[in-house]
Structure 1
């Protein structure tokens, strides 16, 4: 079987009244894809738009006015049944999920993730038109049309802008954006208030990812935390997941005045804390990229991954040493030394922070 031909540059808008977007994870990628959602809504204001996502990510989409429906993929339950050898029960769950998707009568499903798993979920929807962005791992054979990957390297959300242009969507003002409910924001601000932290008076630290080669050293974070309140007048708030609690406590230490909230918030609450920060400093991770969506001043540290050198906002500074081995992505060649991150000086981070804090951006 041959892969379907790529989508032509012009697309007839037929069959875009019920649209399913498939991008199940990860946090940063959902942030990067968010302007595609807004452009789709602008082009098809009467369409029913659903987003298929893993449960842990739902908090980033549930309050978005561009989304009519958030569909949760029960990945954890399916994985548990598979590992327990309960294949018949798993097959029943998959059939039920597929029936539920088909009941949605989607005429178009768009796979924004490009992987076999996302392509399979797109196919399960039964949508007669299935569009994949740069589909690979065999997912291209599950699509009716494939848009080859494209865009401008180094420009944030570039690949999704490229897809939007191919689909004939308006890409003016194509920037990441997030919307959170008032209830989520109240809970987040209450947690800060409990520790004596007021909106706009703190700097978010986002030090954690799932890959060691993307991390800055704990010693560097601790040194930065010691100087943040003294030099910037901002209290550090360290965010992360439940597995990051101990590391967050080490970064905060007892001599910095920093507040470690890793593992103490939901994802949506952490996003709200980012939204109300005076400044965000982070590595290549989802919480960091949220700062762009919320137009917050941001200093971001890249090493093993290709950075977005153009974030589309004047109050974003990217630190990337540009070593010959960078980006190495998932195959580092430095034997765990990670000089691309280790050699970033906290003093430079502070200098960049001063620049973004003084940058003027349009409202």
Structure 2
């Protein structure tokens, strides 16, 4: 969702008086909830399906009616799901643009949209560029290519209070070693060595993670391998927008292929990103200030499409410690 923000910014640049709404899943709401260019953010809750058929239908009906009441002039469907195509059709918007996905070569998908944009070149484009290509029928030039991450004053105040409580006044480094998928993670020992090297130079380190038990356990293991001075943990304690505020305040971000990595890139916080078998051309941190260290430069990686996402294998293990330390030293003020 964060990588859709250039589409939002481009639309607002060319249609400054337009009201822009977004429809997204509830669990990703935080990514765009504070975006100042959006008028309304509508959400779909995946738990509706678990509330019984009648309740589910009622939620969906209420959502459709709210969208129809907005009387849109233009609907842009960035997804490949039938739900988004049918919603686009039901809004009644006179212009409905979607992608001409190979798996959707049928009359119903065509009828849901008034314009379909070719995706032949998408394999050669970053996700940001893929998203922006949907604006082709509108002939909007120039386009805004910068990804943006927004947070509120309340988020900023919360983070400042957390830092004050821990007597963190100067520069600090945010380290996000976790992902919900282990195959995107580095070894705990190697991450601890990087943190220890930074601590030895008097650098303050803040560890962050999501609230999942597996992520909190990883943070605990890393902390146990590090000296106790100059290191703090806010693991599982921050919302995504609060984490954005923390990263925005940081002198450096070190992390694996994850949402916080993309947030750091969007916020222009200097970063060291450890990247593994995800599709680098699609998912590398867009317009990042810093360095991407790719495991593929140190070993042969499996095809991203063939990976069992539940594997416990950590493909980033091939990345040595020293290049990460060197990159961090180079970027720190």
Q: SS at the partner of 1:205?
A: strand
Structure 2 distance, partners of 1:201, 1:255, is: 19
1:288 to partner: Cα distance: 0.8
Aligned position for 1:319:
293
Matched with 1:273 is 246
| Residue number in structure 2 paired with 1:226 | 196
Residue 66 of structure 1: how far off its partner (Å): 1.2
In structure 2, C-alpha distance between the alignment counterparts of 1:57 and 1:357, rounded to whole Å: 31
**Residue 213 (str. 1) matches residue 187 (str. 2):** no
* 1:73-104 residue CA offsets vs partner (Å, 9 max, x unmatched): 2222x1322xxxx2122222211221111111
> Structure 1: which 5+ residue stretches go unaligned?
1-29, 359-363
Rounded Cα–Cα distance in structure 2 between residues aligned with 1:57 and 1:295 = 21
Q: Which residue of 1 aligns with 2:328?
A: 353
Decide whether the 8 Å contact of 1:110 with 1:131 is kept in 2.
yes
SS of 2:280's partner is coil
**Residue-by-residue CA offset, 1:174-219 (whole Å, 9 max, x unaligned):** 1211222212111122122222223x62111122223221111222
* TM-score normalized by the length of structure 2: 0.85
Would you say 1:237 and 2:206 are equivalent positions?
yes
Which has the larger displacement, 160-169 or 233-242? 160-169
The CA RMSD measured in Å over matched residues stands at 2.7
Secondary structure (helix, strand or coil) at the match of 2:23 reads strand
Does the CA contact (< 8 Å) of 2:175 and 2:207 recur in 1? yes
| Conserved? CA contact 1:156–1:310, under 8 Å | no
Q: Does 1:246 align with 2:221?
A: no
Structure 2 unmatched ranges of 5 or more: none
Q: May I ask how many residue pairs the two structures share in their alignment? A: 319
Pick aligned residue for 1:331 from 307, 314, 317: 307
CA, structure 1 residues 332+154, in 2 after alignment: closer, same or farther (shift >3 Å)?
Answer: farther
User: CA distance change for structure 1 residues 90 and 205 in 2, over 3 Å: closer, same or farther?
Assistant: same
Which secondary structure does the structure 2 equivalent of 1:174 belong to?
coil
CA deviations 1:207-266 (Å, max 9, x no partner) are 2223221111222222222122224x4322222221022222222236244222121111
Q: Distance in 2 between matches of 1:353 and 1:289?
A: 17
CA distance in 1, matches of 2:165, 2:190: 28
Instruction: Report the 3-state secondary structure (helix = DSSP H, G, I; strand = E; otherwise coil) of the residue aligned with 1:180.
Output: coil
Q: Name the counterpart of 2:78.
A: 112
